[in-house]
Structure 1
Amino acid sequence: MVDDDEAVRDSLQLLLEANGHQVQVFEAALRALEACAGAAPGCVVTDIRMPEMDGLEFQERLAKTHRDVPVIVITGHADVPLAVRAMKAGAADFIEKPFSHETILASIASAMARSAADIDPAVQARLDDLTPREREVMELLVVGHPNKVIGYRLDISPRTVEIHRARVLDKMKARSLAELVRIAMRAGVDPAS
């Protein structure tokens, strides 16, 4: 667990240990990287905004030596391009603060249970159920384009984009755009630029 906020570190450590996990906490990514040099951790939870080295740089450097270690990125300052960057770099999940205990525990359990290359067959079936136009809209949403830009790029009205967006969220069983980004990145969707 890497976070420069002591309260977050302490509360997550207590939660994880209470649920049977062995936890090492670090306030700085450089110290965590040094600790990971000796042995690969089972899972890493890291904040993004930290002094010296941010969580995304930490994730990228960790991947060079421990490619199969799942990394869960947490942040209080999320935006779609940031989420896309984290997921493209191999993050197992991207979670916005504040999050529930259930959310972080489920994310850690999921990250540790699957290999980075596995795509859930149910998610693949949902992707296959999208129409070609819905797939185009989803790829542009995942990059972070607003409805007006998507409408312009696809030569459709913003209202039509809203309808496709609602259908994509429904078919992909995503409750929010952030969740859609996580699902798409885990499934290996290569977003349009």
Structure 2
Amino acid sequence: MRLLVADDQALVRGALSALLGLEPDIEVVAEAGRGDEVVGAAQAADAQVAMLDIEMPGIDGIAAAAELRAAMPSCRVIIVTTFGRPGYLKRAIQAGASGFVVKDTPATQLADAIRRVHRGERVLDPTLAAESLAQGDSPLTERETDALALARTGGSVADIARMLHLSEGTVRNHLSAAIGKTGGRNRADAARIAESNGWL
């Protein structure tokens, strides 16, 4: 099968490509170091499976999975990440990923997961799947999530209001609601809690 490997760390990307390239039925046909390069690289190489990291510049792996599934529905997606957060798993599945495993998965199991995803099966890390079911959905609305994500980068209420095309009062309301729902002490703490749960 024709595999694309996307990871922002060149050493990790190279190691994964080399390991998986040793498998007789897997050919690494493309690599990407940024999320916004995934669709173009997959299309140019006619990839059948894309293995994506979550934390990448440009756009993250979950957003890249959604773009790839829209642009190339025949290409299956498996997320392989260091960040095993239940919220990430749920968001990845909603974005169209067929697989979600953590990077400490042994190479033989990773290759098997890729084969299963290629066959149309769903492959999920069992521990994360159980945690995801126990945790439930994110309590944040889309606007609360947007406001908290921008607050995480240190933006002021005025900055966030301008970027979201909202009034400052509305932004304050969204941030206050997000703080209450996450149980954070302030917006920075709320952002940290939301991120640790994979909601951002």
State TM-score, norm by structure 2: 0.56
- After TM superposition, give the deviation of residue 37 of structure 1 in Å: 3.4
Taking every aligned residue pair, what percent have the same amino acid on both sides? 23
Secondary structure of the 2:52 match is strand
8 Å CA contact 1:41–1:69 kept in 2: the answer is: yes
One-letter amino acid of the counterpart of residue 21, structure 2? E
8 Å CA contact 1:81–1:144 kept in 2: the answer is: yes
CA 1:138–1:46 in 2, change beyond 3 Å: closer, same or farther?
Answer: closer
Tell me if 1:51 matches 2:44. Answer: no
CA 1:115–1:65 in 2, change beyond 3 Å: closer, same or farther?
Answer: farther
Secondary structure of the 2:80 match is strand
8 Å CA contact 1:80–1:144 kept in 2: the answer is: no
One-letter amino acid of the counterpart of residue 94, structure 2? K
- After TM superposition, give the deviation of residue 30 of structure 1 in Å: 2.1
What residue is the counterpart of 2:134 in the other structure? 141
8 Å CA contact 1:83–1:94 kept in 2: the answer is: yes
What residue is the counterpart of 1:61 in the other structure? 67
One-letter amino acid of the counterpart of residue 114, structure 1? G
Secondary structure of the 2:6 match is coil
What residue is the counterpart of 2:43 in the other structure? 37
Secondary structure of the 1:30 match is helix
Deviations along 1:22-78, one digit per CA (max 9) or x if unpaired, are 212111122222223345311000000011110011001111111232100011112
1:1-193 maps to which residues of 2 (within 5 A)?
Answer: 1-20=5-24, 21-23=26-28, 24-38=30-44, 40-114=46-120, 140-141=133-134, 143=136
Q: Aligned residue pairs: how many?
A: 125
Secondary structure of the 2:46 match is coil
Instruction: Give the number of the structure with larger relative contact order, counting CA–CA contacts within 8 Å between residues 6 or more apart.
Output: 1
Deviations along 1:122-176, one digit per CA (max 9) or x if unpaired, are xxxxxxxxxxxxxxx998526269xxxxxxxxxxxxxxxxxxxxxxxxxxxxxxx
- After TM superposition, give the deviation of residue 86 of structure 1 in Å: 0.5
Partners in 2 of 1:95 and 1:110 — Cα distance? 12
Residue segments in structure 2 that go unaligned for 5+ positions in a row: 123-129, 139-200
CA 1:142–1:19 in 2, change beyond 3 Å: closer, same or farther?
Answer: farther
One-letter amino acid of the counterpart of residue 55, structure 2? R
Partners in 2 of 1:67 and 1:10 — Cα distance? 26
What residue is the counterpart of 1:160 in the other structure? none
Decide which structure has greater strand share.
2
One-letter amino acid of the counterpart of residue 6, structure 1? A
CA 1:115–1:66 in 2, change beyond 3 Å: closer, same or farther?
Answer: farther
Partners in 2 of 1:37 and 1:113 — Cα distance? 20
